[in-house]
Amino acid sequence: MRIKSLVALLFAAFMAAACSKENDKVIAKVGSEKITESYLLQKMGEIPPTAQNYLSTKPGRKQFLDIIINEKMMILAARKSSTARSEDYKKRVSVMESELKSKLNYYKDYILAKMWVEELRRDTVKVTDSEVDEYYAKTPYEITVAHMVMPTYEEAETVLAKVKAGADFTKLAKEKSMDKDNVRLPPVMFGEFMPELEEMAFKMRPGEVQGVVKTGLGYHILKKISQTKPALAQVKERIRRILEKKKFDAYLAKFQEKIKVEVLDENYK
């Protein structure tokens, strides 16, 4: 227990030193290079936990510092060598700088978008309890559907005719659909389904088959499996997310009116 406590105290001391650059204690110097407590803490974090107990002893700390000093010596020697002036080294550094810059730009965009969305959720797209209640009063149902999607209207019409003549919907979908692995879809509430199919799906009766409806994925045929009415308490937060997304999409659509969007590659139109 004493050794573990000592290790904990040692790390606490390092952490305290790392919190302030001004108060960062210099442990050793190698030429003009300083080895500080915060740097040692960083390097200690790379050591396996099994060796941490040894680092809590004076011989362990001394040996660890010797390793760091040797590392600094190698770096200083390398900086003064012809390798540091070679084209190969400069090229590798340039590639790394480019990659790091790209990653930094990605992270900056990511964190900015994340913070922006969080701000919108607190204000612009915030959903009230009364809005949730009103939405549930109008659309309280959860439905389950099976679907098949065909590449052309003619093929979809042919398949639909076979289903209406008595062919098994699921079997035919697994044979003919472009989405064979997702015939029966997860249960959805109004607002969670594809907009082009939503109105039709919710108006259908359980067991009914309808189509053909075109979406960006192809030509769809639907079979309604079930329709239930879950309690409001069970789906309240789910409805909140639906309404929040609707508000967010509307906000983004309004913003997009000011931005020109062009798809230039024919393969993506």
Tens of pLDDT along 100-132? 999 999 999 999 999 999 999 999 999 999 999
Please name the helix (run of DSSP H) or strand (run of DSSP E) that holds residue 217, with its range, or none: none
Number of domains in the chain: 3
Q: How confident is the model at residue 22 (pLDDT cuts 50, 70, 90)?
A: low
At residue 9, does pLDDT exceed 50?
A: no
What does the alpha-carbon distance between residue 70 and residue 82 come to, in Å, rounded to a whole number? 20
Assess whether 68 and 110 both reside in one domain: no
Assess whether 71 and 96 both reside in one domain: no
Assess whether 78 and 92 both reside in one domain: no
CATH number of the domain within which 181 lies: 3.10.50.40
Question: What does the mean pLDDT of the chain come to?
Answer: 89
pLDDT at 21: 56
Give strand pairing partners of 147. Answer: 222
Q: How confident is the model at residue 7 (pLDDT cuts 50, 70, 90)?
A: very low
Rounded (5°) CA angle 223-224-225: 110
pLDDT at 15: 52
Residue 207 lies in a domain: yes
What does the alpha-carbon distance between residue 31 and residue 180 come to, in Å, rounded to a whole number? 68
Assess whether 105 and 75 both reside in one domain: no
Task: Average the pLDDT over 156-176 and give the result.
Answer: 94
Residue 136 lies in a domain: no
Assess whether 58 and 14 both reside in one domain: yes
Assess whether 42 and 90 both reside in one domain: no
Assess whether 116 and 175 both reside in one domain: no
Assess whether 109 and 188 both reside in one domain: no
Q: Which domain holds residue 100?
A: 86-122
pLDDT at 18: 47
Tell me the whole-structure pTM to 2 decimals: 0.67
Assess whether 92 and 55 both reside in one domain: no
